[in-house]
Each structure stands twice: as C-alpha cells, then as structure tokens.
A = this chain, B = another copy of it.
C-alpha cells in the first residue's frame, strides 16, 4: 500500500468529473446520467478499482471486522471454533482478526488494546489459563463494543456467552464408567480458576458421590497435558493405588494417561477405563480408540458469532446478556467399553 492503489479521485480525474459523481455513479444513484455511469463503471473495472475499506470504516464508524481472542490456535477444539467463526463472519460480509493469547495474561491484555484500537465491531473471547483479573474485558463493555465469551468465560462481566454443559457432560462421562462397574475413578483436572475446570470436576464429583463411592483426594490430580498425565500415572503406579477409571479434563491428557499405562503394561480398558473431553481428531485414532465428550467446537464458533452479529446489527445499548449452553455429547469408544 504505497499510493498506487486506485482511488475514486483517480477515476474522477481521468474522466474530468468530481469524486462525488464517481461515488454516486458506482452506487447507481439516479442523479447520474447513464452515459456517465457507463464511463465510470468501465474505467473502474479497467483499473480494477477496489473501494478503500479504511476510508469507509472511518466514515461509517464501523469496520465490519470482528476480533477474536483465542488461547492457542494449535488445538483441534480451538481451530474448529475459529473455523466456525470464520464461516459465519464470511457469509455476513465480516472479516476476522485473530489474536492469540498463548495462554498468557499479558498478551491477552495487549490483544484487547489492539482490538479496541482497531475499532472492531465486536469481540469474541475465550480467556487464557492465567487470567484472573478482568478489567480489560470490562473495558470492552465500557466502550460499548459487543462482546461474547465462548467456552472459557469471565465471571462478573456483563456479556453474552456460549458454553457447553461441562458439569453435565463430565457427570455423564464419569457415570458411564461407574455403570460399567468401575469403583476407583480418578480425575485429571484442569486449572481451577477456569470455570470449565471447576465444572468438569464438579460433574465428576457428583457422579462419584451419587454412586455412593468414596471421594479419594489422591485421585483428583491437577493434570491437563500429556506430560503431566504421564507423571501422574507413574505416581499412581509407584504408590500402588492405580484407579480403574480416569476421567480427564481433555483428550491429550487422556492420551498421555493411555500411553503411560500401556508403557507400564496395563491394558485399556481392562485394567483402566479412560474418558477424555473435547473430542478431537485424535480420538478415533488411538488404540484403543478414546471415549470422549464431543465439544462441538465448530458449532460453538457458529453460535458465538451469530450471537455477536445479532448484537452488532441491532446495536442496542441496553444489554440483557444471554447465555447459550451447548450439549456435550459423550461418545463411547474402545477405551471405556468392556
């Protein structure tokens, strides 16, 4: 972009008319003669004129851009969400600016500032694992920029949100193993400052308690990635208290557990049943295939963006925030089926 892009003024100059005439001609305004319209449109096509979206944004006070803050793109779930967002945005004529927080609070902060500076028409946020202060998000609301949280919401912020029914899904996943006769079920939990971490643990606890089983604190381990899962498995083995079922906060953790157990010579699901969360491309591929909760990332992206676009287009300032709860579907595969 160094000044050689064609503008309305260029067309006007070459045709010896004013910029306003060109503008109106391009819009088919009735005030302009057919002859002029033809000349303008022909020249515009010849020069491959593209209206300057920046000038339009400045004039119209809207950018037709929506900003997305995402913890990490390289995750099946999150990239599915982006895909859903992008599809809906595209069909509505909106563009998408992606900002990755990399699970860092500082970067999330910077992302919010950037998106506000860019005057995006709306923002979609899933907060980072580190985020416990929410002033920057409040700032979005204060600036009257429509805001929708997806998956990981910020408590206390008056905004729309779309989540899945984490507790219920976690309950179903755990109950499923109990129904198969498992008695000592562990939970590999996520960060407890994230609502989804709390909810999934709650669901697990509910199922365990409801079945009259003992809640063993040693069976609740904070482990939310491959390596931590492997270490947790080793701990179980060395301490001699291996569970007979594990509900993990996500798939990659479950797979870490699977690989760890198999390395130790244990059989899945015979010795230990496994259920993950947020059904990724992995699940069908492991041996045995992994039971998991399908989190419907693509649908979540679609839903969140639709909610956001609704806010943007009807731009009402009175804000009765809405919460949409998607159902997570437990998909039973080889890792938990006897």
Contact = CB atoms under 8 A, between A and B. Distances in A.
A73 interface: yes
A264 interface: no
A67 to B, nearest CB: 9
Nearest to A1: B119
A310 interface: no
A60 B124 CA distance: 28
Given A2-B144, A118-B54, A255-B285, A100 B90 contact: yes
Contacts of A75: 79
A97 B97 contact: yes
A139 B47 CA distance: 11
Interface string A87-101: 100100001111110
Interface in A49-82: 50-55, 57-58, 61-63, 65, 72-76, 79-80, 82
A266 interface: no
Number of copies of this kind of chain in the complex: 2
Interface stretch (A109-117, A202-210, A237-245): A109-117
Interface in A16-30: none
A282 interface: yes
A50 B116 contact: yes
Contacts of A97: 65, 95-98
What bracket does the count of chain A residues touching chain B fall in? 35 or more
Contacts of A142: 48
Contact of A107 (B90, B121, B281): B90
Given A73-B82, A86-B100, A52 B143 contact: no
Contacts of A145: 1
Contacts of A255: 285
Contacts of A120: 1
Interface string A252-294: 1001000100000000000000000000011001110000000
Given A83-B72, A97-B95, A118 B55 contact: no
19 contacts: A1-B63, A1-B121, A1-B145, A48-B142, A52-B58, A52-B119, A54-B58, A73-B79, A74-B76, A74-B83, A75-B79, A79-B79, A83-B100, A90-B99, A95-B97, A97-B98, A98-B98, A285-B285, A285-B286
- What are the 3 closest A-B residue pairs judged by CB atoms, nearest first? A287-B287, A53-B117, A79-B79
